[in-house]
Structure 1
Amino acid sequence: MEDEVRCGRYVNPSDAKRKFKDVADMWLRSKNNVSEGVRARYECELRTYINPKWSNVPIGAIRHDDIARWVTELSTGNYPAKLHWKHNPKPLSPRSIKSIVKVVFAGVLDYAVKVRYLMENPARDVEIPKPEYKDLVFLDIREIEALADAAERVGRPVDGTIIRFQSYVGTRINETFALQVGDIDFEKRQIRVRRTWKNSAKAQRLGPPKSGRPRTVAFPKFLAQPLRELVKEQPETAYVFRAVKGGHINDHNWRRRIWRKAVQLAGLEDIEGLTPHSLRHSYAAIAITAGADVKILQRQMGHTSASLTLDIYGFLFPERLGQVADVIDAERTTAIVSKRD
């Protein structure tokens, strides 16, 4: 015991008897830098999926095998849960399981390790199903243009520009609606994404982008003219995409008034899972086809890392091993010929 104290490995056995729900409450209180929406998701996952299983379990009694079995239960729909309207549990997607197990559940146990209630986190090495991003919804350019034209007919010209902006720039919808006139540099055809609208139970409020840092994105030439029309004679702080009365556009209202009607008018209502976020995925697919590398795509889309970009869109990148071999062959030939000369 003395050796463990000196080496910083000592854990008070009574702390390992703390119930999971109590440590989870402490973990939530420690999350001072997350948005209201993220906090609400953490609380929902704890209440719905995690606490029904682990609420009264001492943190020191949680074992790797127990967590692995729970992951299987989440995958098959055979798990305890607190669901609304007496719904029965159903198999969860790999992305949901990742959030529940690796972000929230493991986050609570990480906190227990940090405050020395536990020596190690048994959830970190547990394997979870790999997310299948091939199920993402993409539109091709013809479908995008048909949708944009439909949005103009059911709404205003700005609604068509919103569709095209989402599809050919790739910002998140609430980043788009938070753009201000002063964020646009028409000479460089660049936009500084500094803020986004955060949704909460009470109202929308402005906050930093999802990554927590501003970023610069580029827009294609054809968008310059419609953007100039939108910002003409507007002050620097005016929103680029404005509601009828001049304020910012609420994404929930826009989906109800414009998006759903435009999808039907464009004949795209049979595409399952089509949402405004699908336009962001469509941008990624178009950019990759055009030759964008993973780092450029990461910067444009505001992902925290290139590995995240590859996790989501890696299957879209073409197989270029043969091209690399051909380039090496050409470089070698050029070097040998120039040496002989």
Structure 2
Amino acid sequence: MPNQVWTENTRRLADRAVDGCTFKDVPFGKLRRSHGEAYVKQLSTTLAPSTVKSRTAYVRIAVRAAILDRRLANDPLEGVKLPQVRKTEHSMRIPTADEVRAIRAAIDPAWQVWIDVMAYAGLRIGEASGLQVGDVDFLRRTIHVQRQIQNRVQRLDILPPKHGSERVVPIPAELVARIARHVETVGVFGDDGWLFGTPPSPTRLRHYFVNAGRAVRVTDVTPHDLRHHFASGLIRGGLDAVSVARAMGHSSPSITLNVYAHLWPDAADRTRAAATALMTSASDSADRLRTERA
């Protein structure tokens, strides 16, 4: 059983992470820390630090499985220094409302609601691609996020959402109306009622999104940035970290705070606002008292 698990899952994961890299050419049982250092260095020459971190995490999942299966004695990536990732507040790109509307108007009408569910319901690209009409409760105005689509080599996988990400998202009435119009004009696909294909490839939809952005000269926004757009709107609306975490599908509020803490007003802002409200209330009370005495 361990060998079967290794062959079917972790080996495939490792192959994806080291594809095109010299790390892949080393016999697995002979991997050393020097190979791990060379692997990270090679990735760092062409990929962003966050991507290097993700690729390395995939490899380490496979390596740890191999150690448990006694195929490898030590983790060759243990202690290897990774490139520093920019702080979230400096690297996060939050598109404006005008930019979201412009990209939506430039994309094919068949994909406009796909943009809507990311920008106004916070779905990840794979979750949006995996929506079925049965996931939408038109009366209660909710979307049940219960699957995601992932690209694999020459195929698509239909999987449950990330751990802790299955959720029911309350959505605005206008989004419900847009989904209803989409079903009426574009239709659904297959016996399962897929909203955007049978189902569509997230990679293909990302390509359509990029082309639409170029058409309106918004070239630095990605589909995932629409999720930031949604989160920032919730925070501006006064929602607390627990409520935002539930809407975003984070497994805990601590994840939400790690990503979006810089968007919440700090303690000084809240103190100042509370004191301002207190002074305003006191001034209004004094004015009313003087009026009554007069």
TM-score by length of 2: 0.71
C-alpha change, 1:51 and 1:250, in structure 2 (3 Å) is: closer
Q: Deviations over 1:61-96 (max 9, x none)?
A: x5xxx79x939x94xxxx3x4x8xxxxx61653323
Counterpart for residue 183 of structure 1: 135
Counterpart for residue 264 of structure 1: 214
- Of residues 292, 302, 317, the one that matches 2:264 is 317
Unaligned runs of 5+ in 2: 279-294
- Of residues 70, 85, 92, the one that matches 1:136 is 92
Counterpart for residue 147 of structure 1: 103
Equivalent residue runs for 1:174-253 within 5 Å: 174-211=126-163, 214-232=166-184, 237-239=192-194, 241-243=195-197, 247-253=198-204
Counterpart for residue 163 of structure 1: 115
Q: How far apart in 2 are the matches of 1:171 and 1:181? A: 15
Counterpart for residue 14 of structure 1: none
Q: How far apart in 2 are the matches of 1:31 and 1:300? A: 36
Determine helix, strand or coil for the equivalent of 2:144: strand
Determine helix, strand or coil for the equivalent of 2:93: coil
C-alpha change, 1:315 and 1:91, in structure 2 (3 Å) is: farther
Counterpart for residue 6 of structure 1: none
Matched, 1:108 2:69: no
- Of residues 14, 34, 45, the one that matches 1:42 is 14
Q: How far apart in 1 are the matches of 2:205 and 2:79? A: 42
Counterpart for residue 37 of structure 2: 70
Counterpart for residue 254 of structure 1: 205
Counterpart for residue 90 of structure 1: 45
Unaligned runs of 5+ in 1: 1-25, 84-88, 332-341
Q: Deviations over 1:190-233 (max 9, x none)?
A: 11111122222222242211337522112122212112223459
Q: How far apart in 2 are the matches of 1:129 and 1:211? A: 27
CA contact (8 A) 2:148 2:160 kept: yes
Q: How far apart in 2 are the matches of 1:313 and 1:50? A: 35
CA drift of 1:29 comes to: 4.3
CA RMSD in angstroms comes to 4.2
Determine helix, strand or coil for the equivalent of 1:169: coil
Matched, 1:304 2:251: yes
Counterpart for residue 30 of structure 1: 6
CA drift of 1:116 comes to: 11
TM-score by length of 1: 0.62
CA drift of 1:130 comes to: 4.8
CA contact (8 A) 2:6 2:65 kept: no
Q: How far apart in 2 are the matches of 1:170 and 1:31? A: 35
CA drift of 1:176 comes to: 1.5
Give the fraction of aligned pairs with identical amino acids, expressed as a percent: 24
Q: How far apart in 1 are the matches of 2:151 and 2:226? A: 20
Counterpart for residue 22 of structure 1: none
CA contact (8 A) 1:50 1:105 kept: no
C-alpha change, 1:323 and 1:167, in structure 2 (3 Å) is: same
Q: How far apart in 2 are the matches of 1:176 and 1:58? A: 39
One-letter amino acid of the counterpart of residue 70, structure 1? E
CA contact (8 A) 2:164 2:250 kept: no
C-alpha change, 1:222 and 1:98, in structure 2 (3 Å) is: same
Q: How far apart in 2 are the matches of 1:249 and 1:101? A: 28
C-alpha change, 1:128 and 1:253, in structure 2 (3 Å) is: closer
